[in-house]
Amino acid sequence: MNSAKKTYDYIIVGAGSAGCVVANRLSANPNNRVLLIEAGPRDNNVIIKMPAAMGLPLEATRYNWMFSSEPEPGLNGRVDVQHRGKVLGGSSSINGMIFNRGNYRDYDAWAQAGLAKWSYAHCLPYFKRMESFEGGANEYRGGAGPLNVKRCEAKGPLYDAFIQAGQQFGLPLSRDHNAAQQDGVHYVQATIRKGVRESTAASFLDPAADRQNLTVVTNALARKIIFNGRRAVGLEYAVNDKTFQAQADREVILCAGAIGSPHLLMLSGVGDRQQLAQHGVQSIHHLPGVGQNMLDHLGVPIQYTTHRDVSPVKQLSPVGRIVTGAKWVLAKRGLGTSNYFEVGSFMRSREGLDRPDIQQEFFPMIGLFHQGKSTATEGFQYFTSILHPKSRGSVTLKSADPTAAPALRFNYLTDPFDIKTLTDGVEMTREMVRLSAWDELRKGGFGNVTEMKTRAELENWVRDNSGSGYHPVGTCKMGFDDMSVTDEDGKVHGLDGLRVIDASLMPTLTTGNTNAPTIMIAEKLSDAVLGQALSPLNLRCA
């Protein structure tokens, strides 16, 4: 144990999508001494910076926790991999860079459930503050924030066919799905700036790097929160097998994500006392909701081959990758600047829904990378996801050892509602691909997708082929019922000086990718820490 205990006002655990934001906002006041610790390394590798190389950090355990679930009964006993960032920027440094705010009704539903300060009117000012939208600032969009958001160009026959097929199916074209109308097909918006990935490390942490009151420690594994009675007063962490302690005069703030934050709470004695006792962890505070209510988007890739060579496969061959990489390094242009997912859609599987329940993410080839090697083949795929599942899972301890991964049980598709809804989405996607917009390109289904004739066969195919959208939330949910972990300001119930600020706070999933909502949460609760708030904005949405 290092006996030199340094003192800070705020200790932030996790330099990910939320933690980098919180570190920037709290350290903007030079009187606040801020410590930010991150379990992974710095984010200065080209495979993180180049958007088209996004498959590579997913296969690199240096940057990816690469958690594995327990066998999932709803997936016919398969184990599902959960990619989570372990690097400055966290998952914003390894994700697909897709920027979706969600639906305004997501946040209004939180408010109606008792979280009055989380209505869309309360959240919109923070969505605006955090971004610089290349489409221009307006009543819905921000133009002067740290995070650059671009509208993808989506040039090519595959992208054109996707947009046309969606409209033939009856979906509207949404000009800005992050503004007044989410429903329909759209051109994806991405966190990319001048051809380079725009993680929260790049957009929020780098501009604050020279502040003398901000200390950033990488390769630092949080071991436990230190308590004095019911007050969090510090953190124990390890760097290169050496253990350190830091004191927090004001707050310890967990930004370790929907897996990391509940895991650290349980290691520190905060959680269900009976479950903690099974692993020899002394209970500091009985809080049974810690690690429960885990939600995630689940999707299935529906893949087709093509008649023509229209996928960017040649550019991903050994020679093609050299040329693509050179263009990116020298001029930040070409395929290297693309996240591939340049078009998408939000749609409703049935009448009577108040918001979309199915998302389609489109990929202009089959496959991408596996263990650092290109396995792309000609074709295209619709990654079709269920947006509001009823199945809920958990994060629990496997061991009191901080270096041991927790047990993840997502319980995907265990609720009959979920398998029905996702299979309905697959049926809709197959119908869409049969439309005339695809006639000149579509060859045949890949991976038996067109061979499933009966509903039972298709449902079983979905169970065999679906996987995580890597959007876990809810494991330290805000609220006031017996299974809530924090209040609406992220303060942990029953304890002092301890707050959670990350996706684990979401009581329910948002309608779409969760990175943008997580950044918004960090913006909003950074203000809560500082005792301030932006005024609500009341705008109408479709």
**Other beta carbons within 10 Å of 307:** 12
Report the C-alpha gap between 118 and 122 in whole angstroms.
Answer: 6
Name residue, tokens 């000149």: 440
Of residues 207, 257, 130, 30, the one with CA closest to residue 524:
130
| 285: phi then psi, degrees, rounded to nearest 5 | -155, 125
Q: End-to-end distance of the chain based on CA atoms, in angstroms?
A: 57
In SS3 terms, 388-449 reads as: CCCCCEEEECCCCCCCCCCEEECCCCCCHHHHHHHHHHHHHHHHHHCCHHHCCCEEEEECCC
Which residues, other chains included, contact 326 with Cβ-Cβ below 8 Å and sequence gap of 6+? none
Using DSSP, state whether 148 is helix, strand or coil.
strand
Which amino acid, one-letter code, is at 148? N
56: helix, strand or coil: helix
526 three-class SS = helix
Q: Which residues are catalytic?
A: 471
Instruction: Find all residues with CB under 8 Å of 59, minimum gap 6, and list them.
Output: 369, 370, 371, 372
- Do 383 and 360 form a contact (C-beta atoms < 8 A)? yes
Strands 34-37 and 214-217: parallel
Please, are residues 199 and 40 in contact by the beta-carbon 8 Å criterion?
Answer: no
Dihedral of alpha carbons 73, 393, 426, 367, sign: negative
| Long-range contacts of the stretch 141-149 (C-beta < 8 A, 24+) | 141/176, 141/178, 141/179, 146/24, 146/203, 146/204, 146/207, 147/191, 147/198, 147/200, 147/203, 147/204, 147/519, 148/191, 148/192, 148/193, 148/198, 148/203, 149/99, 149/189, 149/190, 149/191, 149/198
Cβ atoms of 78 and 327 within 8 Å: the answer is: no
Question: DSSP string covering 271-307, please?
Answer: E-HHHHHTTTPPPSEE-TTTT-SBB--EEEEEEEEES
